[in-house]
Amino acid sequence: MSSLSRELVFLILQFLDEEKFKDTVHKLEKESGFFFNMRYFEDCVTNGEWDDVENYLSGFTKVDDNRYSMKIFFEIRKQKYLEALDKQDHAKAVDILVKDLKTFSTFNEELFKEITFLLTLGNFRENEQLSKYGDTKTARGIMLLELKKLIEANPLFRDKLQFPTLKNSRLRTLINQSLNWQHQLCKNPRPNPDIKTLFTDHTCGQPNGSRAPSPVTSPLMGSIPKVGGFPPLGAHGPFQPIPSPAPAPAPAPALVGWMTNPASVPHQTVSAGPLGLTVPSNAASMLKHPRTPPTSNLALDYQTADSEHMLKRSRPFGISDEANNMPVNVLPVSYPGQSHTHALYSSNDLPKTVVVKLAQGSAVKSMDFHPMQHTLLLVGTNIGDIAIWEVGGGEKLVLKNFKVWDLGSCSVNLQASLANEYTASVNRVAWAPDGSICGVAYSKHIVHIYSYYGGDDLRNHLEIEAHSGNVSDLAFSQPNKQLWIITCGEDKTIKVWDVVNGSKQYTFEGHEAPVYSVCPHYKESIQFIFSTAIDGKIKAWLYDNMGSRVDYDAPGHSCTTMAYSSDGTRLFSCGTNKEGESHIVEWNESEGAVKRTYHGLGKRSVGVVQFDTTKNRFLVAGDEFLIKFWDMDNISMLMSTDADGGLPASPCVRFNKEGILLAVSTNENGIKILANADGVRLVRLIESRAHDASRSASGTVAKGAVIGTYGASSSAAGTSIGDRSATVPAIVGLNGDSRSMPDVKPRILDDSDKSKVWKLTEINEPSQLHSLRLPDTLLAVRIIRLIYTNSGSAILVLTYNAVHKLWKWQRNERNPTGKACTSVSPQLWQPSSGILMTNDISETNLEDAVPCFALSKNDSYVMSASGGKISLFNMMTFKTMTTFMPPPPSATFLAFHPQDNNIIAIGMEDSSIHIYNVRVDEVKSKLKGHQKKVTGLAFSNVLNVLVSSGADAQLCVWSMDAWEKQASKLLHIPTGRVPASNTQTRVQFHQNQIHVLVVHETQIAIYEASRLELLKQWVPREASSSITDAMYSCDSQSIFVSFEDGSINVFTAATVRLRCRVNPSAYLPSNPSMRVYPLVVAAHPTEPNQFAVGLTDGGVHVLEPLESEGRWGTPPPVENGAVGPSSTSAPANSADQQQR
């Protein structure tokens, strides 16, 4: 087949896909063998459609083509066989064995015998190699990863895994061009030619009047179907026609009217919503009004034989239908009033100076500035907290923790979810257009709506169980002057609610994947909602029950958010796909095509890149640890800033309405406020007025939003920032209560006052905490290693004598979740065989050994060593599955590769690191860089690096791609301290996978991993209080640190400042003759305030704060708002000195 014929097949595939002929698409893919659709293959495997899987594969390869193909078919058939066994369907299993698996007996007869033997077992998991087999869904997922690797490595699939890059609707465009060319060749070209077939060339009959102008020079307006005819295939706009119930109403505004006379509506909030189009030339049909066709329109009717069929067809987002129907070489017309050719703006207009730092205390997920009071910032976090900040004075006016208001009225599913884990993350916070209410979307089912009356007066208004599962986004809208809230979620729906009473107005269904975001907007009298799903599909809806009006693909099939310019005339979007490719673009609404693509986003973004717009001037995005700015009229990045450092990979960003302030989230669970010159003046003005108010208030400070005081001040204050918001409008509550912002109640005590009375929380008595010593019937030997299972329902330890102990919590009435807790004692678990998991210690000196272990992600097996061979144990049976790598050198640390459980990084006694493949029993790489034994390893998926630490007090960073050393640094050992020769240095990554916690007997420190830049450090002054271990809490908000004197300190991770000390008298029995202290500490994987310690006497204690406290002490205030690098040196027994 010629290359052109091959390309034609791709054009046909694209056309069929756009027209939703899905089965035909996949048949053509298979029969042509040109393109292997990995997404379709994944869906078939995930759904267990095994016949379809093999049938599709047969178009590209056969079982005996090569070893890759053989392995692919074997894995598929083996999985099908195991699923039949798991369902106890032995008849089907035998059928698969004989018809499908028998083929492989000629290549490996022993393997076939072993597979056959599984039929005799009551549960095939009794086979050691299959003991880790989980549920069907998990097993299919694991197999799918293996299949994708095999397909990518198979030479028969080379050049068949990528679809060519084509402009959307390419075949339709070529046909339109052909028709236009034929029309130009007509001797008497007619306006609105009636093209009824593609089977013969087009010709126009003799006209009844004079010759029409050539289509090459005619203006392009969408063609109009004749009475009784069919709509043009190439004239589909975002909203499909609706039959008109009225006989002959007045014509509705067309696209030109939309673009020329846009509604002057301020941009209320940038909804994390999808991309959309304005109403096209058939906007009249949206309003159920017919339209009179223009008489001078010469564009062609590319008509089809079935209007209803075509109305329901969806097409990917891209080239507009108007553009498809254009005569050759005719560009889209421009419209008066739509010019944006203003001069480029200077970077001096951008808010880039850090003026305020806010310590939120948990990771920021969403932010929104108040639409009227421009220095009020609403914040939502990953633990469900919401806060309102007066950023001008750095004051937290409101803080509310996550709490379900009426649990009894919640659905059974929500109650079960909360019983399992009573936490939820905030996905979205947003103010209503007038700022009188705000909405919060949570990761679990519900939306909270609050009434805001200024200052710290935030009142509960409505709790709506909006969706099943995650509520991804929310936004406010005012169709027909009614305030509604729009939500979307994991259940693939969009819903519209009345804000006053919470009644549901509409439910929009049609997405095939969880809906990611919504964005309501309007032009003139037409109200609509755009939505986007995580599969990259974009839909648009009117406020009716007629279904979606469009079905497009976002650029790069990405999760997309959308924002209009503040005057509502320019549409921008930013999104990131699964491969980490990000796109930020402006759309040509009249065509539904990309108008310009802005340059400067990274190629491997972490998460979905967030962005915002301000006025009609600038775009901003958080990407690659930077804030990036663009002028709207220039595709090149205007500038970028790191905001003095400390930003996450993809920070949240948010302009205030005036664009003079910019909020950005930080790694340290804080927020930085950046300002331009006007913003700096505003912040300084508010600070000075707040200071003056505090001096004249006789010990009290006015609690109102400080911008309210500013707004009510003299006109001089207003002109100091260019007459922006010189007055403060009253805020009107939902119950009709109206209050002017300056008339708010006084604040008695603010955060700065609290800092004067803060003191360290000391826990000295058992009654001040919950503590549980785990029951133990085995020989008590000191605990060397300790870990929670990933499920959080068990604790595994390794003792000095190489024996493992496993405690499991049972699910019962007292402990309905079955998770580790202090209220119920666990069971020291042993299999019926009575065997123990014991490491190989033959020819091993235990005093010199550095015991280590690592647990698989599914908790099914543990890899462990105590100076001898490395052993792999089955966690269900305690059987030794295999041993490998006998010393010398001995293993000193083990870590599973985060993306492949078959790859293990092994730190060695001889200072090397082995990258070992378990499946093939082969050391792939040996890394050399340390001078003494390796004692710590930690992987980062985000940075794609391995960080190692050793007894040489050195840190090294290694690339996971080529296993090359990227950086190294020696720890700074405090003067006068001489660490023991066997001192271990350990490392653990923060939840953000960017910062790494380093633990040494002389210090705890936090480094930025890629460059090994020291960010924070805490050093005990006294050598007698050496650190034995430390670990981040599961949410990385706290650090639990154990000491040789028996105490356990809890630090705030963001500042590395001590907030709570648990003294040994609170959890250890008094025994003067025996010195007992914790050697290791472990944090619960889902409970941020629970941790366990392993002691020198062989005991294991689980500790939790009292319910009345809820956490370990109160975080100390951040001095001067500082969140940057710091170093603290303090004695372990002096709280005051530790905080210096």
Which stretch of 214-223, 548-557, 810-819 has the lowest confidence by average pLDDT? Answer: 214-223
pLDDT confidence of residue 447: 95
Cα–Cα dist 1081/901, whole Å = 25
Cβ distance 994 to 648 under 8 Å? yes
Residues in the chain, how many? 1140
Could you identify the residue written with the tokens 């755009």? 530
The pLDDT tens digits for 695-734 are 554 443 333 333 333 333 333 333 332 333 333 333 333 3
The pLDDT tens digits for 110-135 are 888 888 888 888 888 888 788 888 88
Amino acid at 950: G
For residue 639, the SS3 value is strand
H/E segment holding residue 324: helix 321-324
Cβ distance 1026 to 973 under 8 Å? no
Bin 826: left if φ > 0, else alpha if -120 < ψ < 50, else beta. Answer: beta
Where does the pLDDT of residue 345 fall: very low under 50, low under 70, confident under 90, or very high at 90 and above? low
pLDDT confidence of residue 248: 34
For Cα atoms 320, 324, 325, give the angle at the middle one, nearest 5 degrees.
120
Cα–Cα dist 1132/708, whole Å = 46
pLDDT confidence of residue 1131: 43
The pLDDT tens digits for 297-310 are 333 333 332 333 33
Q: Using omega within 30 degrees of 0 as the cis cutoff, is the peptide bond preceding 888 cis?
A: yes
- The yes-or-no verdict on residue 30 having pLDDT over 80 is yes
- The yes-or-no verdict on residue 898 having pLDDT over 60 is yes
Where does the pLDDT of residue 255 fall: very low under 50, low under 70, confident under 90, or very high at 90 and above? very low
pLDDT confidence of residue 280: 33
DSSP H helices, 136-293, are 136-153, 170-184, 255-260, 283-286
Cα–Cα dist 132/218, whole Å = 70
Prediction pTM value: 0.43
With the C-alpha atoms ordered 657, 359, 356, 451, is the resulting torsion angle positive or negative?
Answer: positive
Which stretch of 17-21, 49-53, 275-279, 804-808 has the lowest confidence by average pLDDT? Answer: 275-279
Cα–Cα dist 1123/644, whole Å = 11
For residue 61, the SS3 value is coil
Q: SS3 letters for 412-467?
A: HHHHHHHHHCCCCCEEEEEECCCCCEEEEEECCCEEEEEEECCCCCEEEEEEEECC
pLDDT confidence of residue 214: 38
Where does the pLDDT of residue 590 fall: very low under 50, low under 70, confident under 90, or very high at 90 and above? low
With the C-alpha atoms ordered 108, 109, 112, 114, is the resulting torsion angle positive or negative?
Answer: negative
The pLDDT tens digits for 56-99 are 999 999 988 888 899 999 999 999 999 999 888 989 999 999 98
- The yes-or-no verdict on residue 941 having pLDDT over 50 is yes
Cα–Cα dist 590/1026, whole Å = 69
Bin 396: left if φ > 0, else alpha if -120 < ψ < 50, else beta. Answer: beta
What radius of gyration do the chain's Cα atoms show? 33
Cβ distance 686 to 356 under 8 Å? no
Cα–Cα dist 809/792, whole Å = 9
- Burial class from Cβ neighbours inside 10 Å (0-12, 13-18, 19+) for residue 93 reads buried
Q: Using omega within 30 degrees of 0 as the cis cutoff, is the peptide bond preceding 826 cis?
A: no
Average pLDDT across the chain, whole number: 78
With the C-alpha atoms ordered 1124, 1129, 1131, 1136, is the resulting torsion angle positive or negative?
Answer: negative
Distances, alpha carbon 1122 to alpha carbons 96, 378, 564, in Å = 66, 21, 35
CB atoms inside a 10 Å sphere around CB 397: 24
Cα–Cα dist 547/179, whole Å = 33
| Number of DSSP helices (H) and strands (E) in the chain, helices first | 19, 62
Which stretch of 378-392, 739-753, 1051-1065 has the lowest confidence by average pLDDT? Answer: 739-753
| Token code pair at residue 1032 | 């981040």
Cβ distance 589 to 317 under 8 Å? no
The pLDDT tens digits for 924-936 are 999 999 999 999 9
